[in-house]
Structure 1
Amino acid sequence: MSVLLTNGRIYTLDEANPVVDTLVVRDGRIAFAGRRADVNVAAAEEAIDLGGRAALPGLVDAHGHLMHLARARLSLDAGGARSEAEVAERVAARAATLPRGEWLGGRGWDQNRWPEREWPTKGALDRAAPHHPVSLTRIDGHATWANSAALAAAGIDAATEEPSGGRIMRDGRGEPTGVLIDTAQRLLQRAEPRPSDERFDQAVREAIAECLAAGLTGIHEMGAELYALDSYRRLVERGQFPFRNYAAVAARSESTWAHYRERGPEKFGEDRVVVGALKLMIDGALGSRGAALHEPYCDDPGNTGLVLIPPEEIAQLTLAGAERGFQVCVHAIGDRANTLALDALEQTLARAPRRDHRFRVEHAQILTERDIPRFRQLGALPSMQATHCTSDMEWAAERLGPERLRGAYAWRSLLDTGVVIAGGSDFPVESPSPFHGIYASVARRPQSGAERGWQPEQRMTRAEAVRSFTTWNAYASRQEHSLGSLAVGKLADLVVLSDDVFACPEARMAQIAPVLTLVGGEVVYRLSSP
């Protein structure tokens, strides 16, 4: 099958042929990129007039969570609530629709948006849903707020010991308050029932549709578990997976890592799903004060965050993953966590040198001045989410203070050392729209336009921001020979845009949306005929 796309301003991101007006797609790949006058495609089965619109190679989110986006569609949305009481009201309304005793899950609350900025307690949920176990995951996925019924179902009480790398918030009597941080969440998750295969498969389809409508053609999924990968396989077999997923399996899931440690990497669905990486988590998140810092939090003296994996195990797991053929992706937000991640890579390379390991540091959010050049020196790739910067602006200074803030979200400092940055969103923590991330990278301001003076010298150029969702992401997943640009021979993944990301006013960048999206030469999303 061949398709002609013409009358567009097509940014190929191929340095040898950067802007063209016509593409020919044949058998899912780019067969021609150039001027309409230079190609004869009378036999094309379909011709698409782009109407002068701009087009880009397929946009890929280098750090997203399709599994969690799907689960969120099956649970209560606590996002955007401005107080603990507002979340409780939503819980009460949902509980009234459920059979007595049914588990009520949810996600999205953020105490940093509340006037008092204090942790919630189980009491509000007990009053809202006295006859249901309730567990609500914080927006960043690093804390869970539960009621007494959920805590009892999980066997969590005053005598429960905190797991390594976790925290059970307690009151003055030692009783759990209802908030579990980082690895302590697993105590609760073991008791929470999973959705049926049928419900989860449908939720995945809806989540993919949401990603396509946002402008994505694929993701790098960080921390995929076996049950989610089984769902993707079922959908691929039914022809219901119009998306690409480079999956990093979750080391924290014992069953998932045990399976893939024995099996090794795999691909299925004509490479729509590539299980090629291992995801490790060194620390928690800044918003829940679990990010591991060298010095205490400015707004929580005595707390330096949480290290979820003992330092000696980080290097062991890094080596084990690499030996089995997996790219290793390590979650590190705090400056201490980033030091530990880079130390682990250095130790691994000393024991087993590898020329092209493409070790990734997921988030690389807070860095010491000493660690910034180490990325380039060790060949590590920072995978960063620009919208975290603009979302965290309201409160991050309270956590870090002015000195550490200079090494926060330090895109320009890293780029100037010669590394590339893989761009993502961390959805569902943030919106899956890649244009929100591109705007945040370029403007380094919230979408309101408010100038907060957050190290404007760290901004990216538009070209860098776009590459962070295209060519640099392809390199960050070892797929640069087939994805990332619209060069002849590569897969025909592309997005036709509502506005030109390179030419429109900066303030309009975040509002760009896809008009037409192709994955492997097939139209998978169409807003209207371009």
Structure 2
Amino acid sequence: MADILLREARILNGSAGLTWVAVTGGSISAVGHHGEPEPPAERVVDLDGAVLLPGFVDSHTHLGWSAEDRWTINWSGTTTHDEALDSLRTVAARVTPGDWVTGGDWLPSSLPEPELPTLGELDQATDGRPLFLRSLDHSIAILNTVALQRARIDADTADPAGGRIERYDDGAPTGVLRGTAIWSRLAAGVVPPPNRARRLAELRDLLADLSARGITEVHDIATYPVEDRRTPIHLERSFTDLGLIDALAGELPLRYSFRPSIWRVDDYTGDVTAVQTSSPLITFAGFKMSLDNGWYSEPGGPRIDSFRYPGAEEAGRLGKRADAFGAALSIHAMGDLGVAEALDVLSGLPSRAGTALPPHRVIHARRVRREDVVRLAALGVAVEVQPWEIVAQGPVLAARGGDEFQSMLSPYRALLDAGVVVTIGSDRRLGLRVDQRDTDPLVAVQLAVTREGLQPEQRITVTEALACATTSGAIAAGAGGRRGKVAVGYDADLVALGDDPRELPPERIADARPVLTMSAGRLVFGGGER
């Protein structure tokens, strides 16, 4: 007897007609056509013609940052009252009742005080959650009624020296603070610092969002914190605390692969793939190194190195150390000259082309020289891309150089034609759009197909983009032989879409929303029973 039977599905790239898929013990145990005998199952889910494909793999994310971001108000680009209020409603609704809504970071010159929500609007938008927001220049803070009560700020509270509590005509506080009133124990001192309980709550909220987007696997930038010794400098940033993920092991709705900083490689001995975690869903995925934040051949000029890049010689030593463990190395390289140096470093390591080892990776690759496309293929190096960068950075980069330079910006078509494994990631982190649309895998697929008119010669097909968002992620994880296909013997990491993206207009591909997500054979989103 199967654990779950998915009926009336259309398998992407499968034979025409409706299909059933049986899942047993976390794997696909049988696949059959409509009308063929179905195995008995403990649970039956009728997909009613939904399109079934391998689960989406977010091959590049920062879950710790992203979880914090979902619960943080960011008005840095906000200029109007309605924008501010809409953003506040969206974020506050994610925060667990009783937890604080924090953030702010607006510039008073861009979002002037008359545009800020009123005390009544703050109260309505936060629905009983305390709120404390501070401007980027720290000149003003706003609190809602619950926060004022917790801070014991009322009509009888005196202004602190060097500060001011704004008041209505009757003396009641308006929720606006200035000067030392913001920083004193009167206000800021009441807001509890983020602790383990809050971080876990943020992550639970984020994980539910990932499942609703059809994501069954993430490759995070994460590490255990250094707690047993002092470090001479800050070696890492934006790395999720793996201890928090480990604490959620029993409730993880997806597969979680982590990549610590390459600066931690000397902390390891023996087989780093044997790092002990609390769940087989949590696995080691290699190390990450940052190289450049914008080193381009046009218009030329000084290189812009990234966080703690040690130079090619030391990078090569660290890479060889990682490779000796069998660990893959991911190198953050944005500009075409950065990509070239990343390949120089990786060429000093044994090629993984044609092997079962997870490939080394280049992250971002906003521009790639034609000769380096060939090198990527020859070395068996995968490329992690974030299609939203085409829209966000494409016009800026296009202005840097001529036709040839522009033609190889985010060159997905050239990479796939050369046989390079291209994976799609979100780069979820702090400061993205409040609706987090940029982090949605179906939006990424849409942008890879349409490119919104930018470098149209580098467009790829819907089928290719879906493969980059699903199958390629499994290959990058070294699991291409057991994940990334809807086939017998493969892991049951699946997503069902209400519409076939191939049948929608290109500009509406992202409308094909998930109706079911299954990770490691468990239904984690949707799935009404028959």
The TM-score normalised by the length of structure 2 is 0.71
Match of 1:240 in 2: 251
Q: 1:363 is matched with which residue?
A: 364
Q: Percent identity between the aligned chains?
A: 28
**Structure 1 segments unaligned to the other structure (5+ residues):** 95-101, 110-121, 131-192, 285-290, 446-451
Whole-angstrom CA distance in 1 between matches of 2:320 and 2:101: 40
1:58 is aligned to 55
Helix, strand or coil at the partner of 1:246: strand
Equivalent residue number for residue 295 of structure 2: 292
CA distance in 2, matches of 1:382, 1:354: 16
Residue 348 of structure 1 aligns to a residue in which SS?
coil
1:436, distance to aligned residue in structure 2 (A) = 0.5
Choose 1 or 2 for highest CA Rg.
2
Q: Which position in structure 2 is the counterpart of 1:128?
A: 140
8 Å CA contact 1:225, 1:250 repeated in 2: no
1:32 corresponds to: 30
Deviations 1:169-198 (A, max 9, x none): xxxxxxxxxxxxxxxxxxxxxxxx983111
2: CA distance, partners of 1:414 / 1:261: 35
- SS of alignment partner, residue 56 of structure 1: strand
Q: For the residues of structure 2 that align with 1:410 and 1:394, how far apart are their CA atoms?
A: 14
Residue 73 (structure 1) aligns with: 70
The CA distance in 2 between the partners of 1:108 and 1:472, in whole Å, is: 39
Alignment pair present for 1:279 and 2:288: yes
Using the alignment, how far apart are the partners of 2:336 and 2:423 within structure 1?
19
Deviations 1:288-330 (A, max 9, x none): xxx1224556xxxx55422541121221121111112211111
Q: Does 1:514 align with 2:514?
A: yes
CA contact (8 A) 2:71 2:101 kept: no
Q: Which residue of 1 aligns with 2:201?
A: 202
Q: 427-436 or 328-337, which moves further after superposition?
A: 427-436
Of 260, 266, 269 in structure 2, the residue corresponding to residue 249 of structure 1 is: 260
**Equivalent pairs, count:** 419
Q: Return the letter of the residue paired with 2:442.
A: F
Once the two structures are TM-superposed, the CA of residue 129 in structure 1 deviates from its matched residue by 5.6
Q: Decide whether the 8 Å contact of 2:10 with 2:16 is kept in 1.
A: no
Taking the aligned partners of 1:501 and 1:210, their CA distance within structure 2 comes to 21
1:9 paired to 2:10: yes
Retained in 1: the 8 A contact 2:394–2:409? no
Query: Structure 1 residues 80 and 26 mapped into 2: Cα distance closer, same or farther (>3 Å)?
Result: farther
Q: How big is the shift at 1:280? A: 0.7
* SS of residue in 1 equivalent to 2:501: coil
CA spacing shift, 1:328–1:105, aligned 2, 3 Å: farther
Counterpart of 1:22 in structure 2 is: 20
**2:135–2:141 contact (8 Å) kept in structure 1:** no
* Equivalent residue letter for 1:443: T
Q: Partner residue of 2:165?
A: none
Distance 2:223 2:423 in 1: 19
C-alpha deviations, 1:76-127, integer Å up to 9, x for none?
A: 32465359xx99xx99xx9xxxxxxx99767899xxxxxxxxxxxx996142
Give 2:272's aligned residue.
264
- SS in structure 2 of the partner of residue 51 of structure 1: coil
Residues 139-171 of structure 1 deviation map (CA, whole Å, 9 limit, x = unaligned): xxxxxxxxxxxxxxxxxxxxxxxxxxxxxxxxx
**Deviates most, 428-437 or 315-324:** 428-437
1:79/1:373 Cα in 2 relative to 1: closer, same or farther (>3 Å)?
Answer: farther
From the superposition, tell whether residues 267 and 406 of structure 1 become closer, same or farther in structure 2 (CA, over 3 Å): farther
Q: Structure 1's 418 and 306: CA in aligned 2 closer, same or farther, altered over 3 A?
A: same
Task: Tell me, yes or no, if the aligned pair for 2:221 and 2:259 is still in contact at 8 Å.
Answer: yes
Query: 1:24, 1:123 → 2: CA distance?
Result: 54
Residues 30-87 of structure 1, C-alpha deviations (whole Å, 9 max, x = no match): 011121433332x31111111111121111111122121112234332465359xx99
**How far off is 1:476 after superposition?**
0.9
**Pair 504,79 (structure 1): closer, same or farther in 2 beyond 3 Å:** farther
Change in 2 beyond 3 A, CA 1:124/1:522: closer
Aligned-residue offset at 1:3: 1.2
SS at match of 2:22: strand
C-alpha separation in 1, matches of 2:258 and 2:245: 11
Once the two structures are TM-superposed, the CA of residue 223 in structure 1 deviates from its matched residue by: 4.7
Mark the CA change 1:123 to 1:261 in structure 2 (over 3 Å): closer, same or farther: farther
Moved more, 498-507 or 44-53: 498-507
CA contact (8 A) 1:494 1:519 kept: yes
Structure-2 residue corresponding to 1:435: 442
Give SS of 1:338's match.
helix
Q: Relative to structure 1, is the Cα distance of residues 472 and 510 closer, same or farther in structure 2, using a 3 angstrom cutoff?
A: same
**In 1, distance between residues paired with 2:417 and 2:324?**
31
Give 1:383 shift.
1.4
1:401 Cα shift? 5.6
Aligned ranges 1:413-492 → 2 under 5 Å: 413-428=414-429, 429=432, 431-445=438-452, 452=453, 454-492=454-492
Cα 1:219–1:18 shift into 2, 3 Å: farther
What is the rounded CA distance, in whole Å, between the counterparts of 1:208 and 1:108 in structure 2? 28
Whole-Å separation in 2 of the counterparts to 1:19 and 1:219: 31
Q: Give the aligned residue type for 1:433.
A: D
Distance 1:475 1:361 in 2: 14
Query: In the aligned structure 2, how far is the partner of 1:320 from the partner of 1:37?
Result: 55
Tell me whether 507-516 or 428-437 shows the greater mean CA deviation. Answer: 428-437
Structure 2 counterpart SS, 1:242: coil
Cα displacement (A) at 1:498: 2.0
What amino acid is aligned across from residue 445 of structure 2 in structure 1?
Answer: I
Question: Residue type matched to 1:35 in 2?
Answer: H
Please state whether the residue corresponding to 1:393 is helix, strand or coil: helix
* Structure 2 letter corresponding to 1:40: E
Q: CA deviation at 1:222?
A: 3.1
Alpha-carbon contact 2:353-2:379 (below 8 Å) kept: no
Q: Map 1:313-462; keep pairs closer than 5 Å.
A: 313-349=314-350, 356=357, 358-399=359-400, 402-428=403-429, 429=432, 431-445=438-452, 452=453, 454-462=454-462
CA contact (8 A) 1:4 1:25 kept: yes
Deviations 1:194-234 (A, max 9, x none): 83111111111111111111221111113545462111111
Preserved CA contact (<8 Å) 1:10 1:22: no
Map 1:171-210; keep pairs closer than 5 Å: 195-210=194-209
Query: Does the aligned pair in 2 maintain the 1:60–1:473 contact within 8 Å?
Result: yes
